[in-house]
């Protein structure tokens, strides 16, 4: 049949009908990783609730940034004394029970808190968590062995059904072992498991007297040759994915030099495709020199005037000589042998006569604390050793310093050097682990780079790297270029969270 053209009246009616029709609604695309199952992150500490080191920063930032990608990630941790003091009246009691196994104290209370957009679950037991975050000695093994058991017992009863359980360091490393043993016993399907190694040097190895509390007979039958008194080894051997916090460290720990006795286990995990290296990031909302409320003045890569004012104020605050033009070298972190503290007295002795000033913030081994105090006494007005933890002060130190010294013997990742660069403080580092992955050494021929480094863990090499830094300090153009390079590097946690989401997806 021959088609006929529509009449003028019909055309007008059609046009009017189209004009009056509502536009089709715009459907927002689902977040990229919204298809992933819920994730429960298990850790001993988590910023801003309880913190002793970089582990807390990572655990604190990860759920917030995973949420941006569409992942429902929540945290479970001990109800430490300081958390209870701050939030006891804001938490909701979910349930309580007696932990399975043989423990001097078995009560477990499960509390829930919504704080700054993150859901937290707390394991409450005053006997184990009423003191320090880490009690030390053999009791620390009981402390976190109990925590592991309490988490495993609580999992089936939470108001949350995680498809992935993400554990962190030895304190939680027995969880993948235990939930897989239970699933095998019950004929059920366990959630996928991830173990993040923030520092391989700490493995949760305690005496045989603790083993009977940690491992039941049926669990030992699950893997009779596992050597479960080493909690970290148990997690490495059975977790679906194991990751470290930098690419270089992931390679290093498969070697005898850095493997801490577990290099063969880790090389096996690597060969099976279960080992990942995911570089840590920092929370750029917290660490931002343009908005940081802890600073006396704000600044940016485009306007550095505020940094000079921060330096002037810090020198006065700490009682250092008020010469704002002298180079200021900072250290912030734990005072332990890992951090290369054995090199520091010699470095200070060599650089103070060259005009450098030092500020050191941290706590740790008593003998190292004493050495840092002794340096302050020897160079009063040129060296300040603040022994202890002061979060607000750490912000001001990063902002005021010209250089940031981090001569670590080994470094799984390191966050301090990232923060330092964010605040325009140029790192001076040993070329190891995550320091290799984050600090590009200054190249005098191309002008590229954002810091200084030395290859051998050696006093002479470390001092030479520091001297190279001081040599360029007086060249305003070079300092401006390197500082700009450092501040423009992207260490935001968005990239880090995306890598974790990719690792989660690889298990699905």
Which uninterrupted H or E stretch holds 179?
Answer: helix 174-186
Does 12 fall in a domain? no
Quick one: tokens of 498?
A: 């995306």
At 369 the pLDDT is 97
- Assess whether 360 and 388 both reside in one domain: yes
**Structural domain count, the chain:** 2
Instruction: Round to whole Å and give the CA distance between 18 and 410.
Output: 69
**Region for 381 from its dihedrals, namely left if φ exceeds 0, alpha if ψ lies in -120 to 50, beta otherwise:** left
- Assess whether 264 and 369 both reside in one domain: no
Does 8 fall in a domain? no
- Assess whether 226 and 349 both reside in one domain: no
Does 300 fall in a domain? no
The pTM for the full model equals 0.87
Instruction: Round to whole Å and give the CA distance between 383 and 400.
Output: 14
Q: Which residues contact 75 (CB under 8 A, 6 or more apart)?
A: 40, 41, 42, 43, 46, 59, 63, 118, 119, 120, 121
Question: Tokens 């993150």 map to which residue?
Answer: 118
At 244 the pLDDT is 97
Q: Which residues contact 80 (CB under 8 A, 6 or more apart)?
A: 45, 49, 50, 129, 133
Instruction: Round to whole Å and give the CA distance between 404 and 277.
Output: 25
- Assess whether 333 and 253 both reside in one domain: no
At 138 the pLDDT is 87
* CB distance 320 to 98 below 8 Å: no
Does 15 fall in a domain? no
Question: Tokens 């840092």 map to which residue?
Answer: 372
At 225 the pLDDT is 63
Residue 265's domain is classified under what CATH number?
3.40.50.2000
Does 153 fall in a domain? yes
Does 244 fall in a domain? yes
- Assess whether 443 and 476 both reside in one domain: yes
Instruction: Round to whole Å and give the CA distance between 315 and 34.
Output: 49
Pairing relationship of beta strands 92-98 and 73-78 according to DSSP bridges? unpaired
Quick one: tokens of 54?
A: 């970089």
* CB distance 146 to 109 below 8 Å: no
Alpha carbon of 501 to those of 71, 75, 274: distances in Å? 8, 16, 15
What does residue 113 show for φ and ψ, rounded to 5 degrees? -140, 135
Report which DSSP code applies to 451.
B
Blockwise average pLDDT, block size 10, the chain, 508 residues: 44 50 59 95 95 88 96 98 96 95 91 97 97 91 95 96 98 95 92 97 85 79 69 94 97 96 96 97 92 98 96 98 97 94 97 98 95 97 95 96 97 96 98 97 94 97 97 94 96 95 97
- Assess whether 214 and 329 both reside in one domain: no
**Is there a binding annotation on residue 233?**
no
- Assess whether 171 and 58 both reside in one domain: yes
- Assess whether 394 and 421 both reside in one domain: yes
At 269 the pLDDT is 97
Tell me the CA end-to-end span of the chain in Å, nearest whole number.
57
At 175 the pLDDT is 96
- Assess whether 274 and 356 both reside in one domain: no
At 229 the pLDDT is 75
At 53 the pLDDT is 79
- Assess whether 215 and 329 both reside in one domain: no
* CB distance 376 to 383 below 8 Å: yes
Does 28 fall in a domain? no
Q: What domain range includes position 68?
A: 39-281+496-506
**Region for 109 from its dihedrals, namely left if φ exceeds 0, alpha if ψ lies in -120 to 50, beta otherwise:** beta
- DSSP assignments along 73-131, one per residue: EEEEEE--HHHHHHHTTT-EEEEEEEPSS--S--EEEEEEEEETTEEEEEEE-HHHHSS
- Assess whether 476 and 502 both reside in one domain: no
Q: Is the peptide bond before 48 cis (omega within 30 degrees of 0)?
A: yes
The tally of CA atoms less than 13 A away on the side-chain side of residue 16 is 6
Does 130 fall in a domain? yes
- Assess whether 386 and 432 both reside in one domain: yes
């Amino acid at each position: 049949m021959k088609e006929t053209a529509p009449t003028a009246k019909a055309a007008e009616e059609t046009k009017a009908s189209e004009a009056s029709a509502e536009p089709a609604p715009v459907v927002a695309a689902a977040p990229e990783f919204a298809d992933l199952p819920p994730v429960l992150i298990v850790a001993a500490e988590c910023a801003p609730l309880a913190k002793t080191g970089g582990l807390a920063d990572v655990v604190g930032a990860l759920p917030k940034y995973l949420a941006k990608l569409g992942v429902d990630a929540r945290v479970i941790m001990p109800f430490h004394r300081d958390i209870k003091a701050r939030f006891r009246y804001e938490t909701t009691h979910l349930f309580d029970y007696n932990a399975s196994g043989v423990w001097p104290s078995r009560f477990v209370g499960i509390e829930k808190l919504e704080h700054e957009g993150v859901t937290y679950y707390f394991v409450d037991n005053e006997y184990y968590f009423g003191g320090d975050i880490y009690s030390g000695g053999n009791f620390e093994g009981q402390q976190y062995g109990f925590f592991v058991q309490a988490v495993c017992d609580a999992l089936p009863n939470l108001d949350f059904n995680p498809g992935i359980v993400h554990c962190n360091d030895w304190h939680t490393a027995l969880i993948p072992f235990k939930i897989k043993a239970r699933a095998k016993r019950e004929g059920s399907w366990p959630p996928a498991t991830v173990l993040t190694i923030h520092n391989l040097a700490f493995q949760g190895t305690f005496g045989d007297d603790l083993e009977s509390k940690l491992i039941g007979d049926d669990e030992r039958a699950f893997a009779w040759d596992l050597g479960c008194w080493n909690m970290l080894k148990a997690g490495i051997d059975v977790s679906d994915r194991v990751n470290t916090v930098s690419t270089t460290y992931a390679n290093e720990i498969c070697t005898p030099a850095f493997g801490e006795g577990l290099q063969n286990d880790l090389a096996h995990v690597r060969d099976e495709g279960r080992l990942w290296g995911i570089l840590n990031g920092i929370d750029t909302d917290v660490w931002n020199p343009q908005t940081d409320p802890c600073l006396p003045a704000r600044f940016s890569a485009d306007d550095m005037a505020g940094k000079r004012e921060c330096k002037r104020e810090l020198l006065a605050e700490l009682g250092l000589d008020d010469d704002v033009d002298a180079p200021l070298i900072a250290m912030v972190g734990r005072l332990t042998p890992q951090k290369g503290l054995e090199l520091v007295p010699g470095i200070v002795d060599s650089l103070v006569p060259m005009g450098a000033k030092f500020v050191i913030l941290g706590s740790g081994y008593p003998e190292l604390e004493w050495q840092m105090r002794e340096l302050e006494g020897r160079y009063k007005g040129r060296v300040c050793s603040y022994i202890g933890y002061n979060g607000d002060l750490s912000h001001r130190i990063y902002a005021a310093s010209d250089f940031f010294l981090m001569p670590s013997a080994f470094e799984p990742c390191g966050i301090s050097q990232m923060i330092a660069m964010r605040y325009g403080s140029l790192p001076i580092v040993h070329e190891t682990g995550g320091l290799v992955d984050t600090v590009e050494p200054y190249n005098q021929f191309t002008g590229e780079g954002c810091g200084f480094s030395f290859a051998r863990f050696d006093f002479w090499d470390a001092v030479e790297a520091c001297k190279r830094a001081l040599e360029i300090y007086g060249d305003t153009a070079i300092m401006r270029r390197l500082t700009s390079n450092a501040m423009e590097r992207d260490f935001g946690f968005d990239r880090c969270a995306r890598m974790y989401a990719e690792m989660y997806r690889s298990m699905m």
